Structure 1
Amino acid sequence: MDVEASETADFLASVHPYDSLLPDELTRVAAAFRQVECEAGSNIYALGQRLEGLYIIAEGRVDVRDRNGAVVSILGPRNSFGERGLLRDGAAATTAVAQSATRLLLLPAEEFRRLIAARPAFARFFDRSRPTENRAPDLATTRIADLMTPGPVTCPPSATVAEVARTMRDRQVSCLLVMQETQLTGIVTNRDLVKRALAEGLSTDAPVTGVMTADPITLAPDALGSDVLHAMLERRIGHLPVVDGERVIGVVTQTDLTRHQAISSAHLVREIADAEDSQALALVVGRIPDLLAQLVGAGNPHWVVTRLITDIADAATRRLLRLAEERLGPPPVPYLWLACGSQGRQEQTGVSDQDNCLFLSENAIPEHDSYFEALARFVSDGLDACGYYYCPGEMMATTARWRQPVQVWRNYFSGWIRKPDPMAQMLASVMFDLRPIGGEVSLFRDVMSETLALAATNSIFVAHMVANALNHAPPLGLLRGFATIRSGEHKDTLDLKLNGVVPVVDLGRIYAIQGRLQAANTRTRLEVAQQSGIVSPSGGRDLIAAYDLIAETRLRHQVARVRTGEKPDNFMSPAALSDFERSHLRDAFVVVKTMQSAIAHGRAAVL
């Protein structure tokens, strides 16, 4: 294999679904690709043009545009495009333009169609057909051959702990198979290195046989995803070798299962992209509770689940924007639709309202507002029909105040920071979570960095933000109990949103302001705040662990309701938890309360 084909094979091994190919087939497929270099601004193909094959981005960015020239997708490395036209009549269904200098890999059309016909994983990944029934993604019935990572990394029994650790680091894997020639004798994971070597003070020169799991359980490639889940849960393991006869052909890990969930959510995104109206969108989005139950049931961490759920809301919003433009005609000036709140932070669960706004070009004039009011109404009505109910505070682009030229938005932000009254604090809290969803992204360029710089240097504003954040207190009662809701429909329950995750969200936002952190996602804010010294290593670790427990308890509660045929909500009775779970949840709330106290006294960095 020549150098170029070898580099292509290495690259494809990290791209789904090529990572499902066995090593020999991956080598053959890699040799079929050819490289294409594109200059910034050049067309890769135009609408209606005959497609040469499937494109994968190796380096650079690509805009995919519809027939009206509107950008429908901005793609980066490892994204593929062109499959829609290839699976129809071979003609491009969109226009693809290199946004920057871009290097592409082109898989010829014949080879692409052969893989679709021969490999179920390819057919499933690229299939745009609509299912005949409404059912949840089928991890449990998926063959392990379509889930596993082929070509496992191995080491001999004579390898030392240090050699194993370096190999895992260099190859970026979480396990090694210990092989005596062609015979599988054991498996060693990153967890083994921590628990059996590091924690026990074992010499780094010790042989791997002293820390590995000998004669590990294996599964055949025709076993099902349910077999993987059962084995992992029963034995509390996260890695399973896959053996075909006596030949080791791969490893299936918890990461592989997570990737499968991402593909399942991507299937919903594909259906959304093809939806003809808001009613069709609502049918797709209506499957979110089932997807939520599957993602949580498969053991995915909360930040993976909420990211995938939010991706569906993003796709629905972009589709509604395109449908609005088809109805209303092209916009009179460029615009950008942004989400705030949980969608802006990529933290949506099974129940969410909508919080959004419009940034308009500086060339906008009052006469243009009727167009953007109609566009905002169409999109917000469509989102409401999909289950993203109207914001009770009307924090939506349908309100004239929240669809304005960029300079007006800059004035909003600077005014709120200069005069931080309670209303300004509330508005600023929402707007610091802004994230572009669809339209001209350049309209948002530098706005957030400028605003963060202005806010971070205004100690009075930061103090007001801290005081506002302390209004959301964890539900801690006396005598190691919980402070539950005292009356009304949700009497004797905990509000896991308002008193659970929101206090941590508020802390993350303050850290972002203090450190001028661009991230909108709460967990990312906490991680970066810890890394940059805004909070101490110990305080950061405790807060992240507390947030993880609270957020995952909230998701498990929502899934429990879904499984009993109820709508997901945020109100959980403490009686639903075991004594052990209640104790740990209360400890998590104590951590949050402690960090709130620290930031109130200006001590976040020293905890």
Structure 2
Amino acid sequence: MTLSAPLVQFLASVHPYDSLERPALDALAAQCVETAYSGGQTVFNTGEVVDSLFIVVSGEIEITDDAGVQLSLLGPRNSFGERALLREDAASRTATAISDATLIRMPSAVLFELMNASPKVARFFDRRRPARADRKDLTTLRVEELMTRNPLTCAPETAIREAAARMHDKRISSICIVDEAGMQGILTVRDMNGKVVAQNADTGAPVSTIMTASPLTLGPDALGTDVLHLMMERGIGHVPIVEGKALVGIVTQTDLTRVQALSSGVLVGRISQAKDAAAMARVTAEIPQLLAQLVGSGNRQDVITRLITDIADTVTRRLLALAEDSLGPAPVPYLWLACGSQGRQEQTGVSDQDNCLILSDDASEADIAYFNRLATFVSDGLDACGYFYCPGDMMATNPRWCQPLHVWRSYFDGWIAKPNPEAQMLASVMFDLRPIGGEHGLYEDLLTDTLAKASKNSIFTAHMISNSIKHMPPLGLLRGLATIRSGEHRNHLDLKHNGVLPIVDLGRIYALQGRLKPVNTRARLEAAQKAGLLSKSGGADLLDAYDLIATLRLEHQAKQIKAGHKPDNFLDPSELSDFERSHLRDAFVVVKTMQSSVSSGKGALG
């Protein structure tokens, strides 16, 4: 039967249909059907053709995978069935009413017509983020991406000498004058020279007597070119950024120069010429600003993390070269490898160091002593550059992880033969190894042999799968987001351990099962899809989910950086729009589905 007036009102309260004008909503309602299901009745089974989108009006719907594992429990205003419709595949899940339920059935043709007519509805059902230009110049960057937040300020009655002292202490060229009414003026070093020094003015006088009153300003939504043109036309070097009457930032000529010069290539070039760790640390201090700029410019998450990791790789290789300059040439061939996020080329704004050394089997005890000194030199330098010592001591400075090749072979053989909890943990870390500097041939055969042995050992693989699902996506009942319950990050989502790492773990399992050599998570998923370990639709779902979660993580960190805070991985979901929360939940459901498929031994081909 057609929808009743109360159900039209209900539909109007459900996102994204709440964005429709009333005539469009009435037309949509006229094409939908209200259907009742009794408790225990199946809506559709895995493998069936789904011809409608379902919206829960009342009751509860359980979604399970083909192993019978519950993926989510849906209540009023939740929808389901769109995966099969949009992928044009048979259903990969089963939907069952666990209590008497009323559903709205929206035929697929009606949904597709609505998506074509309404961009907002289309965006809602497309988990992929819209592509944005990868340009990183002043023509595309908004002022809020360029400006320095929390600029130095003082009151109009502040003495000139005190304002000058503050500017000197902060090593900046301007101070903004504000009071309760908002922005009143600006005082620059040029003002000090021209109005105080040159004219021998009284430095005890208030800054209001020499400030530039009512300076030219822009809003945070202006473009970088607006700032540049204003500076060029008016001959100024500082543009305060105001929102309403409030001062929110400032852009200087130095900021514009930095944006035009700041790129991963520039930083890599400066690091490669650095004379010591201190010089490199001055360069790596610019990484947070680079990350925020890359995010603001709309780069893909895997591009951003690759560029950030390239800088860490360059720092490592430069430190290795400096170590050999200091200690003398290496006595035998060696290979420095990274694991963890650097190994996977997935570094963000929060990274410690995870590394090891593989030495030639010709290494003597005296040679190992040399490499212990080399490891200390490099790890200390990495720490000075912001890549902090690993809390778990997974570093080449630990004698356990600075060994000849035959010892490394025995490590991997032992982990595979006896996969106890420690072996599972170590194998998870060491299967993400990537050569950084030295003789790469020391690792190639080891990788090939280890993948072959690991993939053949079903007990080891089963233990690795069990270990991998310890990181679970944060899903609660009724398809809600399960936040951290206590502590410093209460009511937040951990986008690392419960967001990205479950997918990292899945990628590692696929690599083991398929003997795939890529270490980067996205590359592993693509290789697994190509090798047939992941179906076309399953792989596309997981890649979309990974991109969305990883992108949200980077956007969260970029927002913290721009606010002057240290970046972390803890997101308050209340900061997300309804659109973002809905699709983040969908992404977590995809991850949980894949975990269930892998743990049941059925893969992800269904």
In 1, the alpha carbon distance for the partners of 2:590 and 2:444 equals 36
Question: Does residue 414 in structure 1 map to residue 385 in structure 2?
Answer: no
SS at match of 1:336: strand
Q: Any idea what the Cα deviations from partners look like across 1:467-501, whole Å, max 9, x if unmatched?
A: 00010000111223211111111111111001100
* Residues 497-576 of structure 1: pairs in structure 2 closer than 5 A: 497-576=496-575
In 1, the alpha carbon distance for the partners of 2:589 and 2:600 equals 17
Q: Retained in 1: the 8 A contact 2:472–2:502?
A: yes
Match of 1:226 among 118, 123, 138: 138
In 2, the alpha carbon distance for the partners of 1:226 and 1:367 equals 55
**Aligned counterpart, 1:391:** 390
**Aligned counterpart, 2:270:** 271
Q: Retained in 2: the 8 A contact 1:268–1:284?
A: yes
In 1, the alpha carbon distance for the partners of 2:369 and 2:448 equals 31
Over 3 Å counting, the alpha-carbon distance change for 1:289 and 1:587 in structure 2 is same
Over 3 Å counting, the alpha-carbon distance change for 1:465 and 1:262 in structure 2 is farther
Over 3 Å counting, the alpha-carbon distance change for 1:373 and 1:367 in structure 2 is same
SS at match of 1:226: coil
Q: Retained in 1: the 8 A contact 2:136–2:297?
A: no
Q: For residue 440 of structure 1, report the CA deviation from its aligned partner.
A: 1.2
One-letter amino acid of the structure 1 residue matched with residue 283 of structure 2: V
In 2, the alpha carbon distance for the partners of 1:229 and 1:488 equals 37
SS at match of 1:543: helix
TM-score (norm 2): 0.58
**Aligned counterpart, 1:43:** none
SS at match of 1:604: coil
Over 3 Å counting, the alpha-carbon distance change for 1:406 and 1:261 in structure 2 is farther
Q: Retained in 2: the 8 A contact 1:339–1:437?
A: yes
**Aligned counterpart, 1:465:** 464
**Aligned counterpart, 1:371:** 370
Q: For residue 225 of structure 1, report the CA deviation from its aligned partner.
A: 3.7
In 1, the alpha carbon distance for the partners of 2:603 and 2:463 equals 16
In 2, the alpha carbon distance for the partners of 1:313 and 1:225 equals 24
Q: Any idea what the Cα deviations from partners look like across 1:327-384, whole Å, max 9, x if unmatched?
A: 1111111111000010000000011011000000110011222211111111111111
Q: Which has the higher contact order (CA 8 A, sep 6+)?
A: 2
**Aligned counterpart, 2:479:** 480
SS at match of 2:358: strand
Q: Retained in 1: the 8 A contact 2:140–2:297?
A: no
* Residues 160-559 of structure 1: pairs in structure 2 closer than 5 A: 225-228=137-140, 264-559=263-558
In 1, the alpha carbon distance for the partners of 2:260 and 2:493 equals 29
One-letter amino acid of the structure 2 residue matched with residue 569 of structure 1: D
One-letter amino acid of the structure 2 residue matched with residue 447 of structure 1: L
Q: Any idea what the Cα deviations from partners look like across 1:568-596, whole Å, max 9, x if unmatched?
A: 11011111111111111011001000000
Could you tell which deviates more after superposition, 505-514 or 595-604? 595-604
In 2, the alpha carbon distance for the partners of 1:324 and 1:485 equals 43
Q: Retained in 2: the 8 A contact 1:536–1:604?
A: no
Q: Retained in 2: the 8 A contact 1:261–1:295?
A: no
In 2, the alpha carbon distance for the partners of 1:504 and 1:318 equals 29
Over 3 Å counting, the alpha-carbon distance change for 1:224 and 1:461 in structure 2 is closer
Over 3 Å counting, the alpha-carbon distance change for 1:415 and 1:262 in structure 2 is farther
Q: Retained in 2: the 8 A contact 1:485–1:492?
A: yes
- Structure 2 unmatched ranges of 5 or more: 1-111, 118-134, 143-258
SS at match of 1:227: coil
- Structure 1 unmatched ranges of 5 or more: 1-194, 201-222, 231-259
One-letter amino acid of the structure 1 residue matched with residue 443 of structure 2: F
Q: For residue 438 of structure 1, report the CA deviation from its aligned partner.
A: 0.6
**Aligned counterpart, 1:166:** none
SS at match of 1:358: strand
SS at match of 1:351: coil
Q: Retained in 2: the 8 A contact 1:546–1:589?
A: yes
Aligned length: 360
Q: Any idea what the Cα deviations from partners look like across 1:153-176, whole Å, max 9, x if unmatched?
A: xxxxxxxxxxxxxxxxxxxxxxxx
Q: Retained in 2: the 8 A contact 1:302–1:552?
A: yes
SS at match of 2:436: strand
SS at match of 2:272: helix
Q: For residue 228 of structure 1, report the CA deviation from its aligned partner.
A: 4.8
Q: Retained in 2: the 8 A contact 1:289–1:350?
A: yes
Over 3 Å counting, the alpha-carbon distance change for 1:261 and 1:358 in structure 2 is farther
Q: Retained in 1: the 8 A contact 2:594–2:604?
A: no
In 1, the alpha carbon distance for the partners of 2:485 and 2:141 equals 41
One-letter amino acid of the structure 1 residue matched with residue 431 of structure 2: F
Q: For residue 535 of structure 1, report the CA deviation from its aligned partner.
A: 1.0
One-letter amino acid of the structure 2 residue matched with residue 403 of structure 1: C
One-letter amino acid of the structure 1 residue matched with residue 307 of structure 2: L
* Residues 72-87 of structure 1: pairs in structure 2 closer than 5 A: none
Q: Retained in 1: the 8 A contact 2:533–2:604?
A: yes
SS at match of 2:302: helix
SS at match of 1:606: coil
Q: Any idea what the Cα deviations from partners look like across 1:293-339, whole Å, max 9, x if unmatched?
A: 11111100000000000000000000111111111111111111000
One-letter amino acid of the structure 2 residue matched with residue 396 of structure 1: M
In 1, the alpha carbon distance for the partners of 2:304 and 2:366 equals 42
